[in-house]
Chain A
């Protein structure tokens, strides 16, 4: 325990000495203060003492608490914690492993009675400190803003802290592996950002193919229903045309499916950064009375049609995510990937001569 506490205290001192750490905490607080300075009433929004009339942004459309919750979700989680703050955290912590294994530093560490795997994993966990402290500060401040300004006290909000830490750990385990392999902070940081970009691309591709698959299947069902209606009305001429459409749409659905399942398998094997964030958004609907996240993706329009309404299509995509993309899939399988990465790190670290 003495050793673990010492490593954590050292990590704190390390973070404390880095300006970027305090910058990130400062920006987090600034974001929350700005949100707290916003107000909403029946006629519009206000910033401090300045009031702006609005027909669309007022408490008639958005209850007060929902206004702040939406800001927390869209700005706080989707942009700040899972993008900008995560990048700042990576920049600040990418050096942890390369500095640990630098000549002169590692000699001193390994000459102490601490096993290599424990030393490495403890040091790695301290790297998560950054994301953890940042998320904790931001979420706590947001909890207070939503409580005092929005009038809703939602302890479920704190679920965001562990989820953000887990989200960060997907990237950080890869960063650690690159640190062990390259011994370079810059190289491990750049490779991690590239990896993140690849993950983002793969997940977006999977989501696109899934939307296509669901949209096409809904189209097939809608045509089948249309054929049944025509048959009930004995409108045979229309039926032949619809049957031709049905055949074409079924082929299209098969193509979407055949493209989708390999992408799904690939995403399942990889850490799911987007999916974890989306799982959090869905979970906050239940845990903290958030509004169901609206899908503002313009691509959704592409999959809607005269037969399949966009609203129904979005509901189907949401239900599909709820059914198949729960915590076990989004987080569990990502953690397995993370465990494999960390296992690789520890294996290399234990075997290496320094």
Chain B
């Protein structure tokens, strides 16, 4: 796509580096966040409360002014007016004018996005249909449930036919059925070729939706990449055995068996590999010893595991007297290389 940043041949819808934001009073919300969102993907922005996610989103949408920032959004300088006509946005705690109907809300924000009247009317109808609000479009937004307001918000975010859609907690306060419908909408939006940046607390949803994620904590990017890339090192085989020996030997070396957390009397061997060949000698050794195996399973971290580990690790590093020894260098953020085969050639993100 002409005009967009590229890295390793991948076009980037958002390419931000070293975003910092210090609010008045010295509160540092962002301390050098970098974010690379590929064109046409759903990207999940994760982090605990107060991590700086919303500040980052607001900076992208020009609602908050960054203290420092370099980079582009849709190939144009970030945080400028010119890019906004191609971006759709649904803030976290949006408040639509109470005197407007759903249809008028969509139309109003379309007009503010400079969509011409004829096109606006047609798109409004099309979007109301898409979000399932066509029959409710002439009712005031005050009569809507939270889920209906979110749908109208998504329609309003799409009225200008944006290339990038930024959604801040789009399923917040929505019931499970509504959440699923919103997830389906986001998949449809991606299928139309748009890039979607989702800021959410709901890790399971992000895991279902997102092609790639970034984890932010205390104003820093802790991890960024596909879930597969970020959990790559956590791939393992787990073997549960009755009364197994204290240790077994595998191709990768000796593995210690520990009492199973799930069932007393079982011993669990965790072999950190994704290669089944490595596991076979262990299975053979156990069976040769007459041990009964109850489970052999390939496993990896869930997004929640990754999230918790990243955040807890970061907190541990931030706390004085944490488990690290004195002088231990701060670990670099977990940033996966681009999924494209070409080698990294430039940035801080190239760190393994």
A residues in contact (CB < 8 Å) with B? 2-3, 5-7, 9-10, 13-14, 16-17, 102-115, 351, 353-354
- Could you say which of B61-69, B174-182, B192-200, B256-264 contacts chain A? B61-69
A14-B99, A110-B62, A113-B81 known; A2+B117 contact, CB < 8 A: yes
Q: A105-B97, A106-B63, A115-B81 are in contact. List 18 more A-B contacts (CB 8 A).
A: A2-B111, A2-B117, A3-B112, A10-B100, A17-B99, A104-B93, A104-B94, A105-B96, A107-B91, A111-B63, A111-B84, A111-B89, A113-B84, A113-B85, A113-B112, A353-B23, A353-B58, A354-B63
In Å, the complex CA distance between A10 and B93 comes to 21
Chain A residues positioned under 8 Å from B94 (CB to CB): 104-105, 107-108
Q: Smallest CB–CB gap between A330 and chain B, Å?
A: 37
A7, A10, A103, A107: the one within 8 Å of B61 (CB): A107
Chain B residues positioned under 8 Å from A102 (CB to CB): 95
In Å, the complex CA distance between A140 and B154 comes to 45
Q: Smallest CB–CB gap between B145 and chain A, Å?
A: 17
5 smallest A-B Cβ distances: which pairs? A6-B111, A104-B95, A17-B99, A107-B91, A112-B112
Most chain B C-beta atoms within 10 Å of own C-beta, residue among A3, A113, A354: A113
| Interface residue B232 (Cβ < 8 Å from any Cβ of A) | no
| Inter-chain CB contacts under 8 Å: number | 86
In Å, the complex CA distance between A353 and B23 comes to 9
> What total of chain B residues lie within 8 Å of the partner, measured CB to CB?
34
Q: Smallest CB–CB gap between B25 and chain A, Å?
A: 12
Q: Smallest CB–CB gap between B93 and chain A, Å?
A: 5
Chain A facing B: main interface SS: helix
In Å, the complex CA distance between A105 and B141 comes to 14
Q: Smallest CB–CB gap between B287 and chain A, Å?
A: 62
Nearest residue, chain B, Cβ from A6: B111
In Å, the complex CA distance between A10 and B109 comes to 10
A2, A108, A115, A354: the one within 8 Å of B89 (CB): A108
Q: Contact between A111 and B87 (Cβ–Cβ < 8 Å)?
A: yes
| Interface residue B155 (Cβ < 8 Å from any Cβ of A) | no
A3-B112, A5-B111 known; A16+B84 contact, CB < 8 A: no
| Interface residue B104 (Cβ < 8 Å from any Cβ of A) | yes
| Interface residue B135 (Cβ < 8 Å from any Cβ of A) | no
Chain A residues positioned under 8 Å from B93 (CB to CB): 103-104
Q: Contact between A353 and B117 (Cβ–Cβ < 8 Å)?
A: no
A104-B95, A354-B58 known; A10+B63 contact, CB < 8 A: no
In Å, the complex CA distance between A102 and B98 comes to 13
Query: Can you show 17 pairs from A to B with CB atoms below 8 A apart?
Result: A13-B97, A103-B93, A104-B93, A104-B94, A105-B94, A105-B96, A105-B97, A107-B94, A108-B96, A111-B62, A113-B84, A113-B112, A113-B114, A114-B112, A351-B65, A353-B64, A354-B58
B100, B104, B113: the one within 8 Å of A113 (CB): B113
Q: Contact between B97 and A107 (Cβ–Cβ < 8 Å)?
A: no
Within 8 A of A (CB), among B66-116: 81-82, 84-85, 87, 89, 91-100, 104, 108-109, 111-116
Q: Contact between B91 and A112 (Cβ–Cβ < 8 Å)?
A: no
Chain B residues positioned under 8 Å from A6 (CB to CB): 108, 111-112
Chain A residues positioned under 8 Å from B109 (CB to CB): 108, 112
Chain A residues positioned under 8 Å from B65 (CB to CB): 351, 353
Q: Smallest CB–CB gap between A2 and chain B, Å?
A: 5
Q: Smallest CB–CB gap between A12 and chain B, Å?
A: 10
